[in-house]
Amino acid sequence: MEDVVLHYQPGTATGLSSLLERTEKLLECFPCRTTPAFTLWFPMAADCHLPIRPARPAPIITASESRPHTSPNRRQKPGSNALFVERPHECLHGNRSSQPLSRHFSHMVSAHRLHPRQRVKWVISEHNCGVWRAVSRSVQSSQLPTCNANIQREQAEIWVFCDVVRSEQVGRFLKDQLQLSGSIRLAVHRQGDIFSM
């Protein structure tokens, strides 16, 4: 224990000494322990360059793999204990391998030391904010796999987040399919705008 505060009424010196002795005897039964040393719960500065997203996608469980092995004579009725797993819509588009990066774009990625699974954002300026519905539909229908988007009303911008691996492909899709006028910018956290298209 660090400190014990004892309040008493002033009186004789013998009363004070007996009070101190009694207090010490009462405190002996309490265990004294040292506080544990503080350990960091967040990664050190050396670990800050670890990938943000896993390198491999999650395994896909198809309906044929999930069926229990039964004899051909006994077929299960689709009912209470049958397991049916539908394939996610993203799997239809997500299995396509991402196109290789162009020479100029891959040089920019290596110059800024970006990890392939790091998240970056395409910034669509206020001149093209009318395409928000089309961007939102493209993200929801998985035409832009592993992407998410939001609209920044205060800055009159649309932000489309994606991985570095797919960022050039996503940028081309935004520019060509949505027929954007002007340029769109690729921004990285703490580095700002690094590329425009």
Q: Does residue 103 sit within a domain?
A: no
Which residues span the domain enclosing 136?
115-196
Domains of the chain: total: 1
Q: Does residue 24 sit within a domain?
A: no
Q: Does residue 58 sit within a domain?
A: no
43: which 2 tokens? 């990664």
pLDDT cut 70: percent of the chain above it: 72
pLDDT-derived band at 81, boundaries 50, 70, 90? very low
> What 3 state SS string does the chain have?
CCCCCCCCCCCCHHHHHHHHHHHHHHHHCCCCCCCCCCCCCCCCHHHCCCCCCCCCCCCCCCHHHHCCCCCCCCCCCCCCCCCCCCCCHHHHHHCCCCCCCCHHHHHHHHHCCCCCCCEEEEEECHHHHHHHHHHHHHHHCCCCCCCEEEEECCCCEEEEEEEHHHHHHHHHHHHHHCCCCCCCEEEECCCEEEEEC
Q: Does residue 173 sit within a domain?
A: yes
β-pair type (157-163, 192-196):
unpaired
Q: Does residue 46 sit within a domain?
A: no
Q: Does residue 85 sit within a domain?
A: no
**Residue 178's CATH number:** 3.30.70
Q: Does residue 50 sit within a domain?
A: no
105: which 2 tokens? 């774009």
- Asked if residues 159 and 123 have their Cβ atoms less than 8 Å apart, the reply is yes
Across the chain, mean pLDDT equals 74
Quote the pLDDT of residue 161.
92
pLDDT higher than threshold 50 for residue 95: no
pLDDT in tens, 153-189: 888 888 999 988 888 888 888 888 888 888 888 888 8
- Asked if residues 134 and 178 have their Cβ atoms less than 8 Å apart, the reply is yes
pLDDT-derived band at 90, boundaries 50, 70, 90? very low
Q: Does residue 110 sit within a domain?
A: no
Quote the pLDDT of residue 86.
42
